[in-house]
Amino acid sequence: MDKTITKLKSINKVELGVFPTPLHNIKNVETFLNYSPIYIKRDDLTGLGPGGNKIRSLEYILGDALQRNSDSIIVSGPLQSNLCTLTACACAKLGLDCFIVHNGNKPQVLEGNLLLNDILGVESFYLGDIDEHDRALFVDDLYSRLKKLGKNPYIIENGASTGYGAMGYVNAILEIINQSKENNLDIQEVFAPGGNGGVASGLIYGNAVLGSPFKINVISVEYEKEILTNNIFRILSELESIVGLPISNKYNNSFTIIDKYRGDGWGQDTEESRKIVYDFPKMEGIFIENTYNSKVVVGLIDMVKRSQVHGGLCYIHTGGFGSLFSQF
Ligand SMILES: *Cc1c(COP(=O)(O)O)cnc(C)c1O
């Protein structure tokens, strides 16, 4: 195990956040469900900007960019993309130029993450109502233009849901193992959202490579089970080659992908997800947004009520606070 940990720690990254993130009980949810223990892992408090999971991913992705002597970062996403804002925060800290490419029109009033991007002074491009393919063409063109200006640009691909991006969540598993040991916690099952599958892959790989101490429950917020599963296995194989430790077969039964709470997919909320955005903070004083975390909490509560879980539970709050301000 020590060898594995040494190997994981040897992979290049740049320090951006404050880790480990806190892990604590959510007592009022325990009382409400008459089930304990239930813990929350506070990745909404990763220590940069509005916080969130992408800080873990950016430590590895921007670590790679710095190793390649990049001086400018190109990131793309929808208007309220948490990745775009957190990349802008990280670039401020590292002294890199940041270019944000949005599909969507510039709104009259900048709110949520768009306000934060504006305060950070990054250059944002609003491409209007186009799809991700056309957005990618613009990104490639911007890359060439920056090259011609003598810059050394770096593109963040696939919403940071890549092997390097997922490495951050391999570390999160190590943190949970250590925090459990230090505080004598009994954690059996971990809950996290699945969008493109970056967070999920890091957790699944980290769990497997460290002896499968947990069962990982991935609540899909975007795709049907089959598509998300394929994405995850693609990222898992990237992780295996980055770390150099293949898992072959050992993923068996160590994770479940649940697509029952996704509604109509990404950004398409459900009656239950809207309700929990209002109910959860009333219990714990912790806000959740309505694209990722609301669906995870809905799933966790429903699975507890249906007795589909065993032992201590740990919900990973992936942040996204900036986006909440434009969701209702
Ligand atoms: C990007 C993001 C995720 C995870 O997405 P994956 O693509 O599955 O890694 C989860 N929560 C928030 C708040 C995010 O911004």
Cβ of 193 below 6 Å from ligand 1: yes
Q: How confident is the model at residue 263 (pLDDT cuts 50, 70, 90)?
A: very high
For residue 226, the model assigns a pLDDT of 97
CA-based nearest residue to 95, from 115, 72, 117 = 72
| Torsion of the alpha carbons at 266, 273, 75 and 162, rounded to the nearest 10 | -70
For residue 68, the model assigns a pLDDT of 97
d(CA 113, CA 86): 9
DSSP structure string for 129-183? S--HHHHHHHHHHHHHHHHHTT--EEEPPGGG-SHHHHHHHHHHHHHHHHHHHHH
Q: Ligand 1 centre and the CA of 122: distance in Å?
A: 22
d(CA 124, CA 103): 11
**More confident call, 24 vs 253:** 24
Indicate if the pLDDT at residue 97 is higher than 80: yes
0.85 exceeded by pTM: yes
Q: How confident is the model at residue 128 (pLDDT cuts 50, 70, 90)?
A: very high
CA distances from 202 to 22, 117, 128, 261, 314 (A): 19, 27, 33, 21, 16
Mean pLDDT of 118-123: 97
Q: How confident is the model at residue 298 (pLDDT cuts 50, 70, 90)?
A: very high
d(CA 317, CA 296): 9
Q: Ligand 1 centre and the CA of 223: distance in Å?
A: 13
Q: What confidence tens digit (pLDDT) does each residue in 30-80 have?
A: 999 999 999 999 999 999 999 999 999 999 999 999 999 999 999 999 999
Q: Ligand 1 centre and the CA of 292: distance in Å?
A: 7
Mean pLDDT, the chain, integer: 96
User: Of 40, 81, 82, 273, which is best to mutate to test ligand 1, by the most ligand atoms within 8 angstroms of its C-beta?
Assistant: 82
* Residue whose CA is at the smallest distance from ligand 1 atom 5: 195
Please give the structure tokens belonging to residue 260: 């029952």
* Cβ(293)–Cβ(320) below 8 Å: yes
d(CA 49, CA 25): 24
DSSP class of residue 105?
P
Phi, psi of 194 (to 5 degrees): -125, 110
Mean pLDDT of 233-246: 96
Strand order in the sheet with 189-194: 23-25, 38-42, 313-317, 189-194, 215-220, 255-258
Residue 212 CB burial class (10 angstroms; 0-12, 13-18, ≥19): middle
Q: How confident is the model at residue 294 (pLDDT cuts 50, 70, 90)?
A: very high
Indicate if the pLDDT at residue 1 is higher than 80: no
Per this entry, what is the length of the chain? 328
Indicate if the pLDDT at residue 248 is higher than 80: no
DSSP class of residue 67?
H
Q: What confidence tens digit (pLDDT) does each residue in 303-318 have?
A: 999 999 999 999 999 9
CB neighbours of residue 44 within 10 Å: 23
Cβ of 202 below 6 Å from ligand 1: no
Cβ of 200 below 6 Å from ligand 1: yes
Indicate if the pLDDT at residue 169 is higher than 80: yes
